[in-house]
Structure 1
Amino acid sequence: MTAYRTFVRRTAVAATAGAAALVLAACGSDKPAGGHDMGAKESGSRPAASTQADGHNSADGHDTTDAHNSADISFAKEMIQHHRQAVEMAELAEGRAASKDVKSLAAKIKGAQDPEIEKMSGWLTAWGEKVPADTSGMDHDMSSPMPDMDHDMSSSMPGMMSAGDMDELKKASGGDFDKKFLAMMVKHHEGAVTMGRTEKSDGRYGPATQLAADVVTAQTTEIEQMNKMLGKS
């Protein structure tokens, strides 16, 4: 009987010691049975911090949302007017130009700028802004403010031809037209490039700043082309 009691006590002590060891081992580690560190897993499950918060400016300083500012509105309104006059000038070339190269360039200008006018008009409509009235072809001085314009664009639309310039171009034909057209369109394009650079710098609406960049690139190339056609370096 004494031997049996001694055996029971030793068994109980061993069991207690084993349980205590398990408790201490559990307290000394954050790892679950699978061997993974819970702290590491919890930390690693957090998404990486975004480098660009929603609605904030991107690396180039332009907003990545559909937000727009006053510079975008001015750019769209003024470039629509600017493009319309360029298209009007280009349409004159078909029946007046002598050079096939001038006619080809004029068709290219019209083909590029007509869709851009539609695109910018769509932006203005979506923004709740008034699309400028189409005054191309009218006998007026586009370098002066018009009564139906929202504001005086005379200082913000560089390169625009006056009514006298347009009349002179309409009366010309053959080689004389070619020279006048190229000289006027170079000036017109230079104005568009200036406007495009302003929008790239001040605008917020991504599609507008991208269009401005496209205008600068395309029309700078066409300026170089026209200067060569005029015999300028």
Structure 2
Amino acid sequence: MPGIHAPRPAVRRTVLAAGTLAAALLGGCGADHAGMGHGMSAPAAGSSSVTSFNDTDVMFIQMMIPHHQQAVRMSDLAVTRAGDARVKELAAQIKAEQRPEIATMLDWLDAFKQPTLAPTGMDMGHGPDHGAMAGMATEAQLKALSQASGTPFDKMFLTLMIAHHQGALTMADQELVDGTNPLARQLAQQVVNSQSTEIATMRSVLDRL
């Protein structure tokens, strides 16, 4: 895929300690983020008892990091430019969910010994890589969003974020079909659950404006 360092040939790799994985899945929920309840953490390596991940898991994490980063970037604009209180609340909720997930996914790639996207693949909103990451806003759209305020900003933000979330659902659905790593699949399911709900809410707010 353009802009992504190709994963190593072997599809399954032994890098996660099963005991640590179980603790992260079953006992980590106390480390809750606001509005999240994920409790997910970076896996540890070095145990003789291990689980594995495949290329779909790596691709999902590599692509979801910049996808989340753009959502946070868009949501940051709402602090000063949104006019509707519910839009501001939604933007704050998106940041509260996705910032910790970005940090977690970066830790996962480090543990998996896999790279992040190459610099040329970071801007998926236009150019040859556009089709690789569904829902990403273009730089032109982000510029227009940054120049809007009040109700025009609110409508543009909601329209772009709905499409952005729908792209995330597409990516998460693929992970749930073909991914094997329990933590990556857990995150994908969380994305489906939270962002499906947010799409419905954003559509409701957009209809009201």
Q: Which amino acid aligns with 1:85?
A: Q
1:95 paired residue number: 80
**Residues 8-38 of structure 1, C-alpha deviations (whole Å, 9 max, x = no match):** xxxxxxxxxxxxxxxxxxxxxxxxxxxxxxx
Matched-pair contact (CA < 8 Å) for 2:124–2:133: no
Give the one of 193, 196, 200 matched to 1:220.
Answer: 196
- For the pair 1:180 / 2:163, whether they are aligned, the reply is no
Please give the residue correspondences for 1:51-62 in structure 2 after superposition, counting only pairs within 5 Å. Answer: none
Q: Structure 1 vs Structure 2: percent identity of aligned residues?
A: 43
Q: Which runs of 5+ in 1 are unaligned?
A: 1-53, 55-63, 146-151
Distance (Å, rounded) in 1 between the aligned partners of 2:189 and 2:178: 12
Q: Does 1:118 align with 2:103?
A: yes
Query: Does 2:135 correspond to 1:159?
Result: yes
Alignment of 1:15-30 (within 5 A): none
Choose the corresponding residue for 2:56, options 67, 71, 87: 71
Say which one has the larger Rg. 1
Equivalent residue pairs, number: 160
Compute the RMSD of aligned alpha carbons: 2.2
Q: Deviation of residue 132 (structure 1)?
A: 3.2
Q: Secondary structure at the match of 1:67?
A: strand
- Provide the rounded CA distance (Å) in 2 between the counterparts of 1:116 and 1:185: 17
1:86 aligns with 71
Distance 1:82 1:192 in 2: 8
User: Partner residue of 2:177?
Assistant: 201
Find the residue that maps to 2:53 and give its secondary structure: coil
How much does 1:224 deviate? 0.3
| Aligned-partner SS, 1:158 | coil
**Does the CA contact (< 8 Å) of 1:81 and 1:134 recur in 2?**
no
Between the aligned partners of 1:65 and 1:218, the Cα distance in structure 2 is: 30
Task: Verify: 1:189 aligned to 2:165, yes or no.
Answer: yes
Q: Residue 124 of structure 2 contacts residue 132 of structure 2 at CA under 8 Å; is this kept in 1?
A: no
Contact 1:141-1:163 within 8 A present in 2 as well? no
Alpha-carbon shift at residue 156 of structure 1 (Å): 2.9
Mark the runs of 5 or more structure 2 residues left unpaired by the alignment.
1-17, 19-48
The structure 1 segments of at least 4 consecutive aligned residues displaced by more than 2 Å after TM superposition are 131-135, 140-145
Specify which structure has the bigger relative contact order, considering alpha-carbon pairs within 8 angstroms and separated by 6 or more residues. Answer: 2
Map residues 3-42 of structure 1 onto 2, 5 A cutoff. Answer: none
Secondary structure of the corresponding residue to residue 52 of structure 2: coil
1:144 shift after superposition: 2.7
Structure with the larger strand share = 2
- Compute the displacement of 1:66 (Å): 2.7
CA contact (8 A) 1:189 1:219 kept: yes
Normalised to the residue count of structure 1, the TM-score between the two structures is 0.64
Deviation at 1:170, TM superposition (A): 0.6
Shift of 1:133: 6.4
